[in-house]
Amino acid sequence: MKNPNMRHYITKILVDIMFYGGIVTCLILPFAMPRLLEFIGISQDLRLTYTIILLSSGICAVYIMYQLKRMFKTLVSGNPFVVQNVNCLRKCAVASAVIAGIYLTRLFLWFTIAAALIVIVFALLSLFSLTIKDLFKQAVAYKEETDWTV
């Protein structure tokens, strides 16, 4: 894929926006939590717990966006099948599993359907990332093999 198309650039821009937006959100969250809890109607006694849950999952989400940014650099440069992307996908899988674990723990404290869906989505994302990682790993092996034979 030597010619990245417009779709790749648009996706890269969206990932950049989500990455920097996530950083800003994580920085603002501890200061905005009292107002958010008051707006939603949740007791201020749970402020620390909610802040820890949202901040830790937010940091993991920003980490996933960072890994995606690294992967898009190789895609736009025309060489996506490299070991760096295999490592990025593995790290994305771990971060997704951590988010699923955080919300699984939250389910035992306060059960909500949204938290259950977050657990399912991020557990599946973790498994999907591991599957894609294995595909990329195999593609890298084939690419290196053909590079040596030419």
Label residue 17 exposed, middle or buried (CB < 10 Å: 0-12, 13-18, 19+): exposed
Residue 34 · residue 47 · CB < 8 Å: yes
pTM for the whole structure:
0.89
Name the token pair of 14.
């969206």
pLDDT in tens, the chain (150 residues): 456 678 888 888 999 999 999 999 999 999 999 898 888 888 878 888 889 999 999 999 999 999 999 998 888 888 889 999 999 999 999 999 999 999 999 999 889 999 999 999 999 999 999 999 999 999 999 988 887 775
